[in-house]
Structure 1
């Protein structure tokens, strides 16, 4: 899937304001420090959100949240989801109804922990689309993990290993990695990948 203005405009409206906003969003996702959280990841999440749209209460809000969920990505910061949500609140103002804008911002903030409530259909779709990479074949998962390490190149190995270990442990501790019925088959390969990476990191640390 490519990242097209036409897809963005279909969620908002075709206007000079929408085109300007789309260009700014794409430019943010194309920042050179992004090795994983880049335009390819955006395209993948948009595609998966579309595939899972039948499970969503507001597929348009989910798709817009996918556009913005990592629009702000600074590996040295701890508030990327909050900044991304605020970026959506500013950039989409006047392009979508206020209630949908509030839902988009809520969904973006939800990606900080990927733990939607049981009755949160929109949150389930967005989180499943964002975490789908965890269920990749082992070689593709290894490439993903390497790309994440590259984004944290400013950290020494010990610091990165501690932080990454905490992330993997938190993911494995979630009540469920995937929430939509369509994504349930992804659970076993994702848990296998996460466990294998965690074991490798623990071995290196020791």
Structure 2
């Protein structure tokens, strides 16, 4: 975890300089603690770090890069592998922690974005398209990282019967494989689509 903390700290306190949070250190500590919970193997500070790194590469393409970054900070803030309302709870946590520091419009926008990471439905909102694509970039990583990702997800679902897990996991990955295009933005389609399809094909076939 230590190798990610410096980047995460820089990201968070850059956001604080923009938004002027009332308790930036306290909220940062709570978020890092949340992403470090023992039930997590993939939805950790590593995933958060990988997402935030991508924001840096596409910042100029975003209408509100700070809001996208803040949404990413909270999109998996609540994560229970056995629950179905993690995104809603994460959005509620965002409101609880930061609503008093932000405009109503920003709060409502980010809250809806966080909830949208549950279903990854197509949208015409550019920043949300990028946010959803960033969340799925793990599908397009190197084969080595993809194997690690698959092991991490399996660890989070260790409570599921292995045979049932295998069937269900292939169904999830097949859904992504069959979604054309997988990514909503032209940038991600050009740079990540083929790698993601290759990784997915290797698992489901």
TM-score normalised by structure 2 residue count? 0.89
Q: Is there any run of 5+ residues in structure 1 with no aligned partner, and where? A: 200-206
- CA drift of 1:110 comes to 1.1
Tell me the equivalent position of 2:134. Answer: 129
Are residues 97 and 146 of structure 1, via their aligned partners in 2, closer, same or farther at CA, if it must alter by over 3 Å? same
Q: Which runs of 4+ in 1 moved over 4 A?
A: none
Question: Is the 1:115–1:174 Cα contact (8 Å) retained in structure 2?
Answer: no
Q: Which of 45, 48, 51 is residue 45 of structure 1 equivalent to?
A: 51
Q: CA deviation at 1:24?
A: 1.1
1:12 to 15, 19, 23: 19
Question: How far apart, CA to CA, are the structure 2 residues paired with 1:124 and 1:148?
Answer: 24
Which residue pairs with 2:173 in the alignment?
168
Pairwise CA distance, 1:124: 1.2
- What secondary structure is seen at the aligned counterpart in 2 of 1:54? helix
Q: CA RMSD in A?
A: 1.6
SS of residue in 1 equivalent to 2:101: coil
- Partner residue of 1:74 out of 67, 70, 80: 80
TM-score relative to the length of structure 1:
0.88
CA distance in 2, matches of 1:174, 1:83: 27
Task: Summarize deviations over 1:3-34 as a string: whole Å, max 9, x none.
Answer: 1042341343153x222122111110111221
| Deviating more after overlay: 168-177 vs 183-192 | 168-177
In 1, are the aligned partners of 2:21 and 2:101 still within 8 Å (CA)? no
With 85-94 and 167-176 compared, the bigger mean Cα shift is at 167-176
CA shift for structure 1 position 187: 0.4
Count of aligned residue pairs for this structure pair: 197
